């Protein structure tokens, strides 16, 4: 296969992750905008499947990071600070929040995967034009959106089941017996379970739904905003592509 074939992407190497997928989309965008038109059938089934796989892999990884850090990491930090240290609070301007700064840092850091992937998608939205780049972006955005919504709905119900299970008195007694071996006061365990763990399980399901919805909407909204920006630039006689 010669270099001309490589230029047109016929020697296709499946992207390993969302960053590589972004680079491929950018290359196709540049090629089309430099007078190398692609056939409407260029984006084959293999392209579609590989880009869909990358978007699912990214969305699953981001969701699991959020789930483990927000739910398990936050619970661990809160438990350690309450049981083994004096309970701490975070002061922000005129507001006081229960939980140490480390606790809130742990909570916020759980969103880093979703934020990073959403920003990559926003960058891809800049190349939503032509034939091939548009199909690639549509594949990633659509599959990612479907997976995030489905995952968040399933996680919401699973976390709800845990919330209901932990409210059972027998479950509380089992948790107390487990932590008594670590010489932890039963009163503190009851407080942790009733006033934090149950509330956190209920809260995390709602937060995940909201976070996933925002992570889905932002890339699609970025396409609309960028296209409107492009139209306004063209109306005023500027070359939109020179601003990218």
Domain that holds residue 74: 3-243
> For position 235, what pLDDT does the model report?
54
- Which residue stretches of the chain have pLDDT < 50? 1-9, 238, 240-244
Number of domains in the chain: 1
Cβ–Cβ < 8 Å for 227, 128 = yes
Partner residues linked to 95 by β-bridges: 92
Give backbone dihedrals phi and psi of 86, rounded to 5 degrees, phi first. Answer: -70, 145
> For position 93, what pLDDT does the model report?
63
> For position 6, what pLDDT does the model report?
47
3-state SS class at 36: coil
Decide: pTM greater than 0.75.
yes
> For position 86, what pLDDT does the model report?
62
DSSP code for 194: I
Cβ–Cβ < 8 Å for 47, 11 = no
> For position 171, what pLDDT does the model report?
76
3-state SS class at 97: strand
């Amino acid at each position: 296969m010669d270099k001309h074939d490589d230029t047109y992407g016929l020697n296709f190497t499946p992207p390993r992750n969302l960053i590589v997928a972004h680079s491929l989309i950018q290359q196709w965008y540049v090629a089309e905008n430099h007078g190398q038109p692609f056939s409407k059938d260029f984006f084959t089934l293999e392209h579609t499947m590989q880009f869909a796989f990358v978007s699912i892999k990214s969305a699953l990884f981001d969701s699991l990071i959020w789930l483990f850090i927000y739910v398990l990491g936050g619970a661990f930090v809160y438990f350690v600070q309450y049981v083994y240290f004096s309970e701490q609070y975070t002061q922000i301007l005129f507001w006081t929040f229960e939980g140490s700064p480390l606790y809130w840092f742990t909570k916020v850091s759980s969103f880093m995967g979703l934020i990073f992937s959403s920003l990559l998608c926003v960058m891809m939205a800049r190349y939503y034009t032509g034939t091939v780049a548009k199909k690639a972006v549509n594949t990633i955005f659509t599959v990612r959106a479907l997976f995030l919504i489905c995952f968040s709905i399933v996680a919401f119900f699973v976390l709800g089941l845990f919330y209901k299970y932990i409210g059972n008195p027998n479950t509380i007694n089992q948790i107390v017996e487990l932590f008594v071996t670590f010489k932890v006061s039963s009163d503190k365990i009851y407080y942790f379970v009733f006033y934090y763990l149950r509330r956190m399980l209920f809260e995390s399901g709602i937060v995940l739904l909201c976070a996933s919805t925002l992570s889905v909407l932002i890339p699609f909204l970025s396409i609309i905003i960028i296209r409107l920006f492009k139209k306004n630039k063209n109306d005023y006689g500027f070359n939109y592509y020179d601003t990218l």
